[in-house]
Amino acid sequence: MSKNLVIVESPAKAKTIESYLGQDFTVKSSFGHVRDLPEHDMGVDVEHDFQPSYEISSDKVKVISELKKLAKDAEVWLATDDDREGEAISWHLKEALGLPDDTKRIVFREITKTALQNAIAKPRTIDADLVDAQQARRILDRLVGYELSPVLWKKIRIGKSNLSAGRVQSVAVRIIVEREREIDAFKSKSSFKVTAHFDLGNGKVLNAELAKNFPTEQEAYQFLEKCIGAQFSIRNLEVKPAKKSPAPPFTTSTLQQEASRKLSFSVAQTMTVAQRLYEAGKISYMRTDSTNLSEEALDKSKQQITKEYGDEYHHRRIFKTKSESAQEAHEAIRPTDFSTLVGSSDRNEQRLYELVWKRAIASQMSDAQLERTTATISISTTSEELVAQGEVIKFEGFLKVYLESSDDEVDGNPDEEQKGMLPPLNVGQILKLADMKATERFTRNPPRYTEASLVKKLEEMGIGRPSTYAPTISTILKREYIVKEDRQGFEREFKEITLANEQIKSKVNKEVYGSEKAKLFPTSTGMVVNDFLVSHFQDIVDYSFTASVEKDFDHIAEGQLGWQQMIKNFYTPFQKKVAEAREEAIDKSLTSRDLGEDPATGKKVSVRIGKYGPYVQIGDVEDEEKPRFASLAKGQLMETITLDEAFELFKLPRQVGFFEDKDMVVNVGKFGPYVKHDGKYYSLAKTDDPMAVTEDRLVEIIEEKRLQDSNRTIKEFAEDPEAKVLNGRYGPYIAFGKKNVKIPKGTEPASLTYEQVLKLAAETPDKPAGRGARKPAAAAKAPAAKKPAAKKATKKG
């Protein structure tokens, strides 16, 4: 047995570390947290200084038993991650294994031989302040969830058993809800943008524009009239040097944002892939809010830059993190070896590794040197002038490697866009007008959040920390308070006035606007829960208050504040508000809204939230005749649906023609719009409108699904109709009753025999098979008044 036992939280991390430490060290994994607050009980004694009751997680009993055996005759080194979460895991391991208080704790920010040797040479003990900061977060979030969730179940009776609130998640939902209301209240205004194209001969064109927009079509038309017969000439040429500087190396949030923009990764995907790269020893620790680089990293990056690009491309930079809470002793995310260009054979891992490598290298490279030219063009018939701008790169500098992206809708600045180089021009040069256009343009509503821009917003507000962003977004998506999806745009007309050949012509064009890609939208449930919390628990969703709680956690970590006192300061007024909310009458206005009357029957029309989401109802349950119900369509909100839109929903189900002598019926169910044909259900595409989809399109949908299903089956077996070899989303597999069985690498799926299938199925543990295609539910039924079942405590926020 080895003399030393090193315990980490990840098996992959353990494997990498063991390869560096040698035979005297055994490295084992705890597989994450080993103790937590009880699953079905609050586990916090509020009467006795908020004392927590931790228990070993049921899935970690065996792990703890094995670690105890190994620790009995070895010196234990706790080597969990170098942050509060990692410190807490080490402390829980110490408690669960019965280790002494002076057990060695080692930390490192990268998994390299040098970093590990340095850590072994400088062990410390567990930092109680960091543990207390993590305990405070865990306990506070448990108190909030455990106290608030029952209030939500009682006061917002919408039939959903998973209603709950969390400190950071509820604020994130509020940000998205408020942005949606901003968009709904936004009134777009139009103006006319003037652009001109000048023919310079030899195929060269000069593009210019008027600095101002005209508020009305008449003013734009009058300006073009002035330009009939005018002489255009270069009044002034201004050439200025300019430069661009690189962005700092990645922090957790900037990595999440850039991976979203450049790689289309979700926040959770970015963290999963980064975790694998870290555990493989390819990048430094990926949970950090520091932009600092170590002296070693600065030296190694210099070597790589001068070797690959030359001395003139290197420029040493020390970045200062803006966040007050950032720990400058930590590092930004960077490669562990700048000379390694390939970090993984996995495509996504390599793409993220390249992003980290380029950003870190670029941060230590020279500024890009530019030359910007501005040409001012005078018009003989008016005092207004046109402007043409262009730029040329004189020295690439860091642009040779990397250019930071931006969210165009939020940060895009036309002055910062890369502009083309202007053709040769001279002051006094007469220009020949090819055409001039005044095009109607519309102001844009505030953009909806992407996962990346939400992370950026939370970070700017000081809410949450690097380790919380991904689980926060995952939680509110899972609870269906928000949805992440693409949405089609809308068509509108715009006017264009053109001056060409001394004649003015007007025409009306069409454009699509407002299309959304991977944006976050609030659901009706999310809006209802948000409004209840804003009304009754302002502190929980207050931005500055939530940020101040994060600062309190920082003060605990620094040893400046006791965690029990911090919890008490929060809990005493919070508990009072919970008691008050429990006593208040149920506010039905949160979960229902009257829209008007049905002119055909005189019955009330309302919109409500039921077990399967929001729906429209004509009539009341007290009426002699049973009310009629219709589910809201995708993208419709209880808060904004109109009476006319509600009546449209009752046009479903729609009978839309026939196919193979069977009718096709379009409807919307729990899982979205579908067409029913010959007793089978076929989902409509996201781009199909159930109110407008045509007969031909429905036939196309049915035939596409049939073709897909026919290609799905690779092989069937006469011995057992439930044994099949199928094509799945991730490749071929065996479906054997309720088991999904993996096919070994190198095995040709079509060549499998029934005996081989039996053997493989026997070796595969019992597991419920995937659901596959689900039958769409009918429109929402009247919700039964149901008492919510007892709910387990809300997990960590």
Active site residue ranges: 285
Collapsing DSSP states into helix, strand and coil, what is residue 428? coil
State the Cα–Cα distance between residues 518 and 386, nearest whole angstrom. 38
Q: Is residue 100 packed enough to be buried (19+ CB in 10 Å), middle (13-18) or exposed (0-12)?
A: exposed
> Please, are residues 556 and 133 in contact by the beta-carbon 8 Å criterion?
yes
The backbone torsions φ and ψ at residue 543, rounded to the nearest 5 degrees and listed phi first, read -65, -50
d(CA 432, CA 434): 6
Say how far apart CA 125 and CA 101 lie, in whole Å.
7
Q: Are 471 and 796 in contact (CB under 8 A)?
A: yes
Backbone angles phi, psi at 522, to 5 degrees: -75, 150
Residues 6+ apart with CB under 8 A from 32: 9, 10, 89
The helix/strand/coil state of 285 is coil
Distances (CA, A) of 602 to 263, 561, 597, 620, 621: 54, 64, 6, 12, 15
Query: Cβ distance 764 to 741 under 8 Å?
Result: yes
How many of the other CB atoms lie within 10 Å of CB of 423?
15
Report the distance separating Cα 667 and Cα 618, nearest Å: 18
Cβ atoms 783, 611 nearer than 8 A:
yes
Tell how far CA 163 is from the center of its chain. Answer: 21
Largest Cα span, the chain: 97
SS3 of residue 627 by DSSP:
coil
Q: Say whether 182 sits in a helix, a strand or coil.
A: helix
Amino acid (one-letter) located at 737: G
Is 583 strand, coil or helix?
A: helix
Q: H/E/C letters for each residue in 315-356?
A: CCCCCCCCCCCCCCCCCCECECCCCCCCCCCCHHHHHHHHHH
DSSP, residue by residue, 470-535: HHHHHHHHHTTSEEEEEE--EEEEEEEEEEETTEEEEEEEEEEE--EEEEEEE-HHHHHHHHHHHH
Q: Is 6 helix (H, G, I), strand (E, B) or coil?
A: strand
Structure tokens at 440: 């109607």
What amino acid occupies position 380?
S
- ∠34-40-41 over CA atoms, to 5°? 95
The answer, yes or no, to whether the previous bond of 653 is cis (omega within 30 of 0) is yes
Sign of the CA dihedral running 280, 278, 57, 30? positive
SS3 314: strand
**Beta-ladder partners of 734:** 725, 741
Burial state string for 220-248 with b = 16 or more CB within 10 A and e = fewer than 16: bbebbeebeebebbbeebeeeeeebebbb
Do residues 450 and 495 lie in contact, with contact meaning Cβ atoms separated by under 8 Å? no
Q: Which two tokens stand for residue 784?
A: 């039964």
DSSP H/E element including 388: strand 382-395
β-partners of residue 208 are 196
